[in-house]
Amino acid sequence: MNQVLDLFDVRETFSPPTTAKVEAPPKPKVAVYLRVSTDDQNTDLQRSELLAQAKFRGWEPIIYEDQGISGANFDRPALNRLLADADAGRVKVIMAWKLDRIGRSTQHLAGIINRLLKAEVGLVVPFHLDTFTPSNFHDLTLTFTFTFTFTNPFTFSCLS
Active site residues: 37
In angstroms, how far is the first alpha carbon of the chain from the final one?
A: 82
Helix (H, G, I), strand (E, B) or coil at 50: helix
Count CA atoms within 13 Å of residue 73 on its CB side. 15
